[in-house]
Amino acid sequence: MTSLQLPVLDISLLHGNAVSRQHFLQQLAVAARDIGFFYLTGHGISTGQQQQILQLARQFFALPEPEKQAVSMVNSAHFRGYTQVGGELTQGRVDQREQFDIMREQTALALNSAMPAWQGLVGPNQWPAALPLMQTALLQWQQQLSELSVTLLSAFAQVLQQPATAFANTLQDGAYTHMKLIRYPGTSAVAQQGVGAHKDPGYLTLVLQDQHSGLEVLTDNGWVDAAPLAGAFVVNIGELLELASNGYLKATLHRVVSPPKGIERFSCAFFMAAQLDATVPLLNLPAELAAQAKGPASDPNNPLFYQVGENVLKGRLRSHPDVARKHYAALTQVV
Ligand SMILES: NC(=[NH2+])NCCC[C@H](N)C(=O)O
Ligand SMILES: O=C(O)CCC(=O)C(=O)O
Ligand SMILES: [Fe+2]
């Protein structure tokens, strides 16, 4: 067994006495600033429950093709539903994964051209008729991970020496939450793009992975393996935290390399952003932190937007060109 290359943080310390709480915040500060990725343990979600979610993923992807196509994402202006292998792009290249996306269960808004395009993200999920228990299970899971993310976010506020509520007013009307069940098929080719290198657009991401490696993180020492750690979530920082902290916290590039032939890897990724109509605050950092904040990354291929809906929609449009063409044609013609 190889040793883990990312820090392990036990969030139960946050609920302990002042010493253990301080210890957790200190570790969080270092992990978030230097790597932007870590394992989270002590979160109170049982391995049994984690296994149930991965089992649901296995059941979904094993459904006959027509059952999956019946909930195809291309039929949803809200980017919900099934995407087959080949349907998603990262950095303009095809990813070797299939996935099922849900977000908060909402009613679609009646759109008109005067409204910002990101309002199209709001809407209902699509659910497969063949798995009647899936909706309740996944919405409940989404709620649990949402609560865990809010707790983590308040810890980040403390790390940045802000009031514990610093991010709370960007979540008042409900955080933007997004969840994917993912299957990475094995390939015989070397280093296939399961998902290409990218940053996540939100505040935070929690990844539940099965027993197979594949997730990799770009560090100062090159790509390192986020090898599975039983019971843990892999947490990474998204673009909104990088923006809010003026680059003190890093949204780290990561990717998934396809498993070898004969192996399939399942994961569940949960993304949490502020409410879509929020603008992420640029926090006023104390001098010693501000001195280490290098400003957010500036990449012409990936502009970062403080306006949350705009930043989220950016990621969705470039990832799902079929949905973009069908439902956001007015936007995709411009460029
Ligand atoms: N919702 C996500 N975080 N998707 C991450 C995958 C990368 C995505 N295809 C992109 O271009 O950014
Ligand atoms: O499947 C994984 O382990 C990570 C997926 C990921 O990074 C993403 O979908 O944004
Ligand atoms: Fe990601």
Q: What is the ipTM of this complex?
A: 0.98
Helix H or strand E encompassing 146: helix 134-159
Q: State the residue range of the domain holding 187.
A: 8-327
Instruction: Identify the pLDDT of residue 332.
Output: 65
The structure tokens listed for 2 are 């190889």
Is 236 inside a domain boundary?
Answer: yes
The H or E element containing residue 208 is: strand 204-209
- Tell me the average confidence (pLDDT) per consecutive run of 10 residues in the chain, 335 residues long: 87 97 96 95 98 98 98 98 98 98 97 93 98 98 97 96 89 96 93 95 98 97 97 98 95 97 97 97 95 92 96 98 95 57
Q: Best substitution site from 90, 177, 207 to test ligand 1's pocket, by max atoms within 8 Å of Cβ?
A: 90
Domain contains 1: no
Q: CATH no. for residue 159?
A: 2.60.120.330
Domain assignment present for residue 70? The answer is yes
- 182 touches ligand 2 (CB under 6 Å): yes
Per-residue pLDDT, 137: 98
The rounded distance, in Å, linking the Cα atoms of 169 and 280 is 10
Q: Ligand 2: distance of its center to the CA of 53 in Å?
A: 15
The ligand 2 atom at the shortest distance from the C-alpha of residue 184 is 1
Tell me if 190 is assigned to some domain: yes
In a domain, 2, yes or no: no
Q: Is residue 107 part of a domain?
A: yes
**Predicted pLDDT at 333:** 56
Instruction: Identify whether 335 is part of a domain.
Output: no
The count of residues in the chain is 335
Domains held by the chain: number: 1
Only one residue has tokens 């990717």, namely 255
